[in-house]
Structure 1
């Protein structure tokens, strides 16, 4: 063959090989930035798909006239709003955005339209939209810029709503009013700080209950006279340091409000407060667990509340006049949220999930206690036998403190000591509960990997003392709780102490990085998802509306002593101690843990010669919410585990 003919032939052959290779591997979409992640075979994606097609449904709101509901669920790539008119009825999609659509509320008198929230690319600058339910046309109500808008609280007559926004300066969360038919936001109350919110509006539309969140250990309540703009203390701020007072509602008695507080108690109790006598009465003292939330019926005669009891939720119904209550019967053990009464108060809708099922919506009839299922979400091809069920476990930490968590064992078909993934929750005030693993059942059922979800000190749900045990200079005590868990794993005959991977997101990402350098010789690898690599740089770069709130928890980087402590404990400054492979996952638009926390860690690891994989999504924020991105993240994580955990 002539040389002039040989070159085109070789080029054609090369292009053919490239095309064949592309057909056999998963190609990251245009929004994903990848570094050092090897080819992912499409055969793996096919195997995993059995576990990735499940979905859940969560209650959003109940129609004020018809009793039909709006739910959030995903049929495409993102969660959208859907209408359900009867039990197990058709889920009719009513929003079709590229971005996930969050909370929504019906106009409260006729329910002819909704007001919902949506951000762009996970930036959490949620904007409010009006959705006409006849035309399905959405109209932007807020400024569309870099402001957070939410906490919609309607006037009882439907003539507009109050909401919280950071629009004035980006840092202070303040009260505004808007008529959605004439959407010009009017500033009602200026306040300093990002922790303010609206709890309730009085029946005469004259007064708002305003909450002031200081930290997970402290919050206060205020009354706002709307006409005058005057705000007055509802709870005594000077006498309430270190006390939670939140979730307040007006009761049927004009001199009484309901709220949740941990005053004089280790856990948050349901309480009522008399505005005249200034006396608080506690109503759930017999339940030594947190009241997580409650909802009053519109006539304020019935109150439903849920408790978090050792990582499982229970639902109770209370007669608001007599204050007597009883647990709802015939409910499977699981997690409960999204409580909403119908307008007539005869029915209570709620969302529930179990360790065997994703979330779905149910309706309880108050008079009889009967429960009716309204949605039934699919688990894809997963069977009940594919699902790992959690077991509660406990271990003692370095100082004798009892730590607990949930252990999801590998499928029984696997023999020998099993590798372990320790998956650490964020917050740090979060909590790992006995939840459905979803797609992570692939790890337990197909890879033979056990999963442990610990609740280290600082987790919520175990009392206010436990919640505060990692604050400020106590930060690394929570990392030692993971060290104690490594000791516990070594004592379990079915678990392999020499094959352990640490994984966590947000604050759990910090815990992952800290464990990677404190216990480098006891783990195989780590996966850091939107994690903090240096508290000093994190606090300087997190969005302004969050900064002071996070300083209360972590410490103030402007204080020289605390700044020095941050320098000492920063994973970024302990790169030389990280010996095992690390996979970093980040959203470009993350307003909480900025992308710089990930890139500075990646760059320093690379400069030090460490093995580091990197995945960044340009259209995501604090975690991946879009299915194509989440699917690729999962596949890359499995490849990472195959390479560094299982071998």
Structure 2
């Protein structure tokens, strides 16, 4: 077993938390979508282009909503990734904020809902994200030194996978409440009766193939060192209120600490259990007005556990992108 994995006690704790607490209004009943996995498809403003980008692998057209910044000078690009159960049409609360601040913006499809073998960070889906970036670079005046990838939940999952797999030089990766271990999440959601367990079965051909699940799990993807860290954000109540317990972010952060040769920066087993059981005091620092429960950074990753559930703090995320891009 990898040293970055949490102890069995942590897994048992998460199972007991998931089963012993009444499921919240953003994850139950299973037929309803959590707040950050809405499939609602609003009418996008006419200022956004509906573009079709053919896959460079199989030629299949992948749709996206996109916005070209009006600046004459090269402008930064944000690639905002949809959640698990939706596609490029999904409402994105970041879009209007980023457009107002002068970003190029694209909201690509990458094979839509994660319930087919073609989706769920497959080679096809990840190439779709790279193809979307190529489209922007070829079509607009994009500053290639200021390209950012961001997503929440299933979009955070895809952001983490893009960190490991993208061919592009990305200036920043921001993953909010991501899934990082697909097999672990299968059992977590199956126990709670959530639809995602069935989706994962559909992705993996009807049964749980551990090796195939690992191929689709950022936690196990081959690492290509980057000059910028992967920023991980997780609500301390996710798993209580929401579908993705914070162990997913903690484990990936720990793995990247190990690979940076700095195991002393890891979240310890004891700290992991304290965080999962909320037996820890907040730090006194704030993230957009929310308490920060735990924060750590290493050369390859940062980890912030904040007061909240399964969510992105939209204004915080927009401000972080703006600060990084100098907007």
Task: Report the TM range for the smaller structure's normalisation.
Answer: 0.5 to 0.7
| Deviations 1:595-625 (CA, angstroms, capped at 9, x unpaired) | 111111112223333342322223x22115x
Q: CA deviation at 1:434?
A: 7.7
Q: Establish whether residue 445 from structure 1 lines up as the match of residue 94 from structure 2.
A: no
> Aligned partners of 1:513 and 1:394: how far apart in 2?
24
- Aligned partner of 2:320 in structure 1 is 639
Q: Establish whether residue 396 from structure 1 lines up as the match of residue 54 from structure 2.
A: yes
- Aligned partner of 2:81 in structure 1 is 424
Q: CA deviation at 1:588?
A: 1.9
**CA 1:501 to 1:149, structure 2 compared with 1: closer, same or farther past 3 Å?**
closer
| Deviations 1:377-426 (CA, angstroms, capped at 9, x unpaired) | xxxxxxxxxxxx3111111002100011111232x3x2222211100101
Map 1:404-419; keep pairs closer than 5 Å.
404-410=63-69, 412=70, 414-419=71-76
Q: CA deviation at 1:520?
A: 5.1
Q: Structure 2, unaligned stretches of length 5 or more?
A: 1-16, 33-38, 261-298
**Per the alignment, in what secondary structure is the counterpart of residue 604 of structure 1?**
helix
> Aligned partners of 1:556 and 1:416: how far apart in 2?
48
Looking at secondary structure, tell me which structure has more helix per residue. 2
- For these two proteins, the number of residue pairs brought into alignment is 259
> Aligned partners of 1:149 and 1:516: how far apart in 2?
31
> Aligned partners of 2:160 and 2:146: how far apart in 1?
17
> Aligned partners of 1:565 and 1:505: how far apart in 2?
23
Looking at secondary structure, tell me which structure has more strand per residue. 1
Q: CA deviation at 1:482?
A: 0.8
Contact 2:177 2:310 in 1 (8 A): yes
**Per the alignment, in what secondary structure is the counterpart of residue 433 of structure 1?**
coil
> Aligned partners of 2:90 and 2:153: how far apart in 1?
20
- Aligned partner of 1:589 in structure 2 is 237
Q: Establish whether residue 147 from structure 1 lines up as the match of residue 4 from structure 2.
A: no
Higher relative CO (Cα under 8 Å, sequence separation at least 6) belongs to 2
Q: Structure 1, unaligned stretches of length 5 or more?
A: 1-122, 126-144, 151-164, 167-172, 174-193, 198-291, 293-307, 313-333, 335-353, 357-388, 461-466, 625-629
> Aligned partners of 1:608 and 1:641: how far apart in 2?
29
Contact 1:458 1:470 in 2 (8 A): no
Q: Give the alignment's TM-score, normalised by structure 1.
A: 0.36
Map 1:73-112; keep pairs closer than 5 Å.
none
- Aligned partner of 1:602 in structure 2 is 253
Map 1:207-356; keep pairs closer than 5 Å.
334=43, 355=45
**CA 1:490 to 1:512, structure 2 compared with 1: closer, same or farther past 3 Å?**
same
Map 1:10-89; keep pairs closer than 5 Å.
none
Map 1:446-465; keep pairs closer than 5 Å.
446=101, 448-459=102-113
> Aligned partners of 1:434 and 1:521: how far apart in 2?
25
| Deviations 1:428-482 (CA, angstroms, capped at 9, x unpaired) | x3023385x6565443333x2111111121349xxxxxx746257x833211111
Give the aligned CA root-mean-square deviation in angstroms: 3.6
**Per the alignment, in what secondary structure is the counterpart of residue 139 of structure 2?**
coil
